Amino acid sequence: MSTQELPKHVGIIMDGNGRWAKKRGLPRSAGHAAGAAVFKNIVRYCSKIGIQHLTVYAFSTENWKRPQNEVLTLMKLFKQYLSDALTNFLDENIRVRFLGDETAFDPRLRELIDETVEVSKNRTGMVLNIALNYGGRSEILNAVRLLARDVQNGVLLPEQIGEEAFSQKLDTAGQPDPDLIIRPSGEKRTSNFLLWQSAYAEYVFMDILWPDFKPKDLDRALELYAARNRRFGGI
């Protein structure tokens, strides 16, 4: 596939770790560990083939409802990944950004998030957005609050609030909206992911659990995307 046919921005809802582990009689933590390994592989592959922006849904605002042991396992995996990224991925020309509310995380994880962003900020390759403690509704509400504050402070008039002004208050400010969103696992819903930004995104739902997801599966989703006629409301 030529780079002209590639979507500029791909979103992935990484789903199915728990079911993958259950099918094998393993603890859910084993599924998350397997999913983390797939995440690293797919990130590198996307960078290699020329994807400009990749957003992965790693932990939603609703995931705090999961059992405490599972949440702790996920937090440990996030710290491990970021530590690896700081030491082993120095040659990867990938700029890392984070979407979501970091304030709920412990100081060590927030420190790793800040350090990862700082270390990678001058890289010129693919932008990797990791959505942690992220929810599309929360993001929209936060953007509304920021705009309301600007109006209150006299920085902005209500009639000046348009789509562009709103988009600049989102976590993805300065980036193109996703062209393609992929959801493995067989589920067919958006799960509060990039609600504003995905207004005209193409969706590909795949009946494969995330730990089994391979570069060839991404290639298949990209082929399906390339075959679609994107009209954006026109004819």
Please confirm, yes or no, whether 88 is among the known catalytic residues: no
Catalytic residue among 15, 171, 177, 217: 15
Q: State the Cα–Cα distance between residues 148 and 154, nearest whole angstrom.
A: 10
Contact criterion met (CB below 8 Å) for 55 and 178: yes
Question: Does 129 participate in catalysis according to the annotation?
Answer: no
The token pair that represents 140 in the structure block: 């929209």
Q: Which of 63, 142, 150, 192 is catalytic?
A: 63
First to last CA, the chain: 26
Longest CA–CA span in the chain (Å) reads 59
Contact 136, 11 (CB under 8 A): no
List the catalytic residues.
15, 63
